[in-house]
Structure 1
Amino acid sequence: MSVLRRVHELPVRPVLGDATVRAVGVSVDRHGGGGRVRRVLEGVDFEAVAGQVVALVGPNGAGKSTLLAALAGELTLSAGRVELDGLPLTQWSTLDMARRRAVLPQTHTVGFPFTAREVIAMGRAPWVRTERRELDDEHIAAAMAATDVEHLAARSFPTLSGGERARVALARVLAQDTATLLLDEPTAALDLGHQEAVLRLAAARAGAGVAVVVVLHDLGIAAAYADRVAVLDSGRIAADGPPRDVLTTDLLTRVYRHPVEVLDHPVTGAQLVLPVRR
């Protein structure tokens, strides 16, 4: 099968355990004033796997959002490559990538006063000239129900609160119906109940065979919901594996440069990650 034919065929769901997005030796530089160059990712190898939630964690400036943007194809790499469904991103058109991976950015802005439902419907744009357009209403309704925004459908997006906008933006990504979800801090503006709901939703998508990569700051949520945790430190991956193998007192104390305690909940046995407060 030729590359061109493969690229332009409609995507099929990957097999559980297959890598959908892979970074190989990825490095990214940031250019500042005065010609200064700062390397923010250095030789990163990483993969998102169908059927898994992978949490990217680490201190501010560690490279979490940069890695997610690199996986999404939104950055120029200084070295290495990113592959989507086994092909370098350079061999995919923007439309073909949008049919295979959906991206939730940190900020949620819309230039015109679209309603919440209209914003969510934008997630169906990649399928407009395919037979899957017949599923638009079904996917939009399911995404709105999953994110608890049905009551916001007719509201103007700019008038929503930060948390409401975040949930509507997540619904747009879910409506896109792709085999890979790249979520940058989806819980940042949410209250406790909606934070838990978002991670339960991510876990459910992974259970249905989707590869989910999510940037998180809350290590407790990462421990509770992620199948894998990748800890970034100064642009490198310090550890990548199951939460109980990765989220250890020694590693987290070193990476976060603050004393951290990892223990099991006395009743449920769930892994708890707590800063040491003196």
Structure 2
Amino acid sequence: MRLPRAVRPVPPSAPVPGDVLAETAGLRVRLGGREVLRGVDVTARAGEVLALVGPNGAGKSTLLAALAADLPAAEGVVRLHGRPVRDWSAAELALRRAVLPQAATLSFPFTVEEVVRMGRAPWARTRQDDDAAVGAAMAATEVTAFATRPFGALSGGERARVALARVLAQRAPLLLLDEPTAALDLRHQELVLRVCRERAHAGDAVVVVLHDLGLAAAYAHRVALLCAGRVAADGRPLEVFTDGLLTEVYRQPVEVFRHPRTGEAVITPKRDEPPSLTLS
């Protein structure tokens, strides 16, 4: 008996800058009986980096997981590429969005290159430019030099960059990144956010969860500030990052300045003046 041939998922067409690739409307999500998101509306467009910021427990990672179709909505709707997420098959979703979770763990001794190559799995039955995609992703994240090392032998920061390379190799037009800079040093934090900007410039939509407001101010085209499961503000960083709003949301006195050279917002906690030191 001949089994029916599997239907190939149709890859998405290249988005036009400004196209809405992901959105939520009236989104409510409950976890363990608790309402984590309460009527959230957000939109991610091709050609921009959208940063999700806010204090711990605000719902940032939950919102990212809902956009990825990894968490169901209790109410409201999540759309990817104009269609409710439930209308896409798993194979179709994998061609349209790539997800970087907070933690990257593997139980088997895969090499770095093998891990990055896993990002090509959604394209197995469509096109075969795997080597170019893997090589470009590894170069962008600066992991080529240890391509043959076991993933488990890497430092936390190196693993984070390899995990991002896997996501980039997937070449989906929507990137959903959960705290991609958390384990990274200063140089590689800047590297990762530059890569996000480059992907947006190339036409992708990038949604990134960040705790560092300075990075969000420097690299995001738009920020959504979450507080207690709601969007407190959504707009350009200079519009959202104000002394009063950040002080209220974070419950910590904050000062916002304009960088004298770039004009970007510089955010710092308001601290008491340290006592002066006297040398005897």
Question: TM-score, normalized by length of structure 2?
Answer: 0.93
Distance 1:14 1:113 in 2: 37
Does residue 184 of structure 1 match 2:166?
Answer: no
Aligned position for 2:80: 84
Which residue identity lines up with residue 47 of structure 2 in the other structure?
G
Q: How many Å separate the matches in 2 of 1:266 and 1:210?
A: 30
Q: State the 1:266 CA deviation.
A: 3.1
1:203-226: CA deviations, max 9, x gaps? Answer: 010001100000000001100000
Identity %, equivalent residues: 61
Secondary structure at 1:47's aligned position in 2? strand
* Structure 2 Cα separation of the partners of residues 18 and 9 of structure 1: 19
Structure with the larger helix share: 1
Structure 2 match to 1:126? 122
Instruction: Tell me what 1:220 maps to.
Output: 214
What SS class does the counterpart of residue 129 from structure 2 fall into?
helix
Per-residue deviation at 1:192? 0.1
Q: CA deviation at 1:74?
A: 0.5
Are residues 16 and 267 of structure 1, via their aligned partners in 2, closer, same or farther at CA, if it must alter by over 3 Å? closer
**1:10-159 → structure 2 map (5 Å cutoff):** 10-31=11-32, 37-130=33-126, 132=127, 134-159=128-153
Count of aligned pairs: 265
User: Alpha-carbon deviation of 1:14?
Assistant: 1.1
Q: Secondary structure at the match of 1:15?
A: coil
Q: Which residue is equivalent to 1:211? A: 205
Q: Give the RMSD, CA atoms, in angstroms.
A: 1.0
TM-score by length of 1: 0.94
Question: What is the CA-CA distance between 1:267 and the residue it aligns to?
Answer: 3.9
Of 160, 164, 176, 2:158 maps to 164
5+ residue gaps in structure 2?
A: 1-7, 273-280
Alignment partners' CA distance in 2, 1:21 and 1:139 = 24
CA distance in structure 1 between the partners assigned to 2:59 and 2:15 by the alignment: 27
- State the SS of the aligned residue for 1:27: strand
The structural deviation recorded for 1:8 is 3.8
Q: Distance in 2 between the 1:267 and 1:83 partners?
A: 39
Match of 2:235 among 204, 221, 241: 241
Give, in whole Å, the separation in 1 of the partners of 2:158 and 2:257. Answer: 34
Query: Unmatched 5+ residue regions in structure 1?
Result: 1-6, 32-36
1:131-188 C-alpha deviation (Å, 9 max, x unpaired): x2x2100000000000000011001001110000000000000000011000000000
Shift of 1:271: 1.7
